[in-house]
């Protein structure tokens, strides 16, 4: 299990719905960071190609700025009305977080076109979202999102 990586507008919209449905009004850490100075990347090292910065906040500083080179920043997501935007924050700040884990499940367990919601306590929620179908057409890959 790892902090969530948001690599597409579709995944960003899905997470926005999950957070809205859970009643979440907080900021949540993702795995995005600029620890490898000079670029934003996910925790596994993949460069970030899709961005969704909050348009109401200043654009993150460029690599050339003093601020950028001195501070390690991480990407957190926050709800603004019904949309989910990204904000930068110092990695040492305390925020809630969203984890994801890819699971292989039988198609009989769930229909990959539907979102299944299962809450097992008031402190966190489990969400299962279909990501893609595997080639044998019997199983689906889904991501499990845990909001803490």
* Domains of the chain from N-terminus onward: 7-12+24-96 (3.10.100.10), 98-147 (no CATH)
Arithmetic mean of pLDDT, 48-58 = 86
Q: What is the pLDDT of residues 97-143, one digit of tens each?
A: 888 877 665 555 554 444 444 433 333 445 544 444 443 334 444 55
C-alpha span between 96 and 140 (Å, rounded): 29
Give the predicted TM-score (pTM) of the model. Answer: 0.68
For the segment 7-48, what is each residue's pLDDT rounded down to a tens digit? 899 888 888 888 877 776 678 888 999 877 668 899 888 899
Distance CA 110, CA 64 (A): 48
Give the number of other Cβ atoms within 10 Å of residue 71's Cβ.
14
With vertex at residue 26, the alpha carbon angle to CA 22 and CA 30, rounded to the nearest 5 degrees, is: 95
The 10 Å Cβ neighbour count of residue 88 is 22
Q: Residue 73: which H helix or E strand, with range?
A: strand 73-80
């Amino acid at each position: 299990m790892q902090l969530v990586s948001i690599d597409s507008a579709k995944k960003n919209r899905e997470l926005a719905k999950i957070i809205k449905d859970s009643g979440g009004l907080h900021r949540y850490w993702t795995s995005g960071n600029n620890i490898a100075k000079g670029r934003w990347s996910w925790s596994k090292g993949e460069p970030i190609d899709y961005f969704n910065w909050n348009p109401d906040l200043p654009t993150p500083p460029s690599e050339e700025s003093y601020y950028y080179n001195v501070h390690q920043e991480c990407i957190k997501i926050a709800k603004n009305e019904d949309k989910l935007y990204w904000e930068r924050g110092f990695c040492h700040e305390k925020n809630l977080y969203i984890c994801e884990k890819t699971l292989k499940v039988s198609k009989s367990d769930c229909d990959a076109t539907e979102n299944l919601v299962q809450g097992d306590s008031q402190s966190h929620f489990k969400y299962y979202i279909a990501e893609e179908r595997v080639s044998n057409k019997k199983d689906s890959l889904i991501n499990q999102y845990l909001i803490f």
